[in-house]
Structure formats: structure tokens, C-alpha cells
Amino acid sequence: MKTIPDPEVFRLVIPSQTRYLNLVTGLAKRASMVAGMDDSTAAKVSIAVDEAVTNVIMHAYGGETDHIVDIELRFMPLALEIHICHTGQSIRADQIILPDPGEYVKHPRKGGLGLLLMSRFMDEVHFLEGKERNECCMIKRVGT
């Protein structure tokens, strides 16, 4: 008899190309619903994943299209964990400056909103730096 991994894990590996974003966000939305989230919450998770994968493609890999983005969805008992792994430039926690939405309204400018959306739509966002690869880990708890 085959054993089911604990937690149950789903992996998707894509080239570092933005044309696959819609594929990834569609999967993230469906996975959120399988995890027990409602449609509205699932849509927010999918947006957060779009932002995180876009950051990897555009910033970690500098727009280079011949790399790999490894997306792992872990179905925890009360949460969905999303791990987005890459071998590009890492982002350190001390480099993250979330824009103040109030300041944005007063002084509109282009860019810088992706991380804010990720932090608002997910319960936890972590950036982990490894020896061989780096990771963005996002967690959304069911029912929040």
C-alpha cells in the first residue's frame, strides 16, 4: 500500500516566465478551495501567489526566462502553506519595507505594492535564505 505524504503536498515547477502566472494562480485558487477556504479568500490567496511568483521572476531572476520556479502547496490540517523556491537573488527580511497605504493615497507613485498585498492577504509571509536556494513561504489559515 502506498503512503500519503504528511502533510499532503502538491508541487508545480514552472519556467521563470510570466506567461505561466495564470496557470499558477488558478492552481493556488483551486488549492485554497480544496483546503476549505471560501471563494473570496481563495481569490486573495491566488493574488498573493501571483505577486510572490512575479517577484521571483522579475526581481530574484531579473527577468531572465531560463530559470525554474518551484511552487509547493502543503495542505496542513488548518492551513495552506505555499512555498515558492528559486535559485535567484534572495530578499532579506531587513530589506523589506512595506509601503504605507495612507502615504500612497497622499503621494501616489508607481510600484511597491506587491509585498503589501501579500502581507495583507496572507496570515504569514516569510523570506528564507538557503545555501542552494531561497524561498518565500506564505501561510493562510482556514477560517481567517
Partner 1 sequence: MVDLSIQIRDENGVAVVQPEGFINAHTVRQFESALENLVAAGKFTILLDCQRLSYISSAGLGAIMGLIETVRENGGDILLCSLQQNVFAIFDTLGFTQLYRVFASEVEARQALAGKTE
Rounded alpha-carbon distances, angstroms, from residue 109 to 10, 12, 25, 114, 138: 37, 34, 26, 13, 26
Decide if residue 12 touches partner 1 (CB under 8 A).
Answer: no
**Three-class DSSP labels, 68-102:** EEEEEEEECCCEEEEEEEECCCCCCHHHCCCCCHH
Residue of 51, 71, 122, 125 interacting with partner 1 (CB under 8 A): 51
Decide if residue 122 touches partner 1 (CB under 8 A).
Answer: no
Q: How far is C-alpha 143 from the chain's CA centre?
A: 19
Decide if residue 114 touches partner 1 (CB under 8 A).
Answer: yes
What is the footprint of partner 1 within residues 52-71 (CB under 8 A)? 54, 57-58
Tell me which residues touch partner 1 (CB under 8 A): 18-19, 21-22, 25, 40, 43-44, 46-47, 50-51, 54, 57-58, 101-102, 104-105, 108-114, 116-117, 120-121
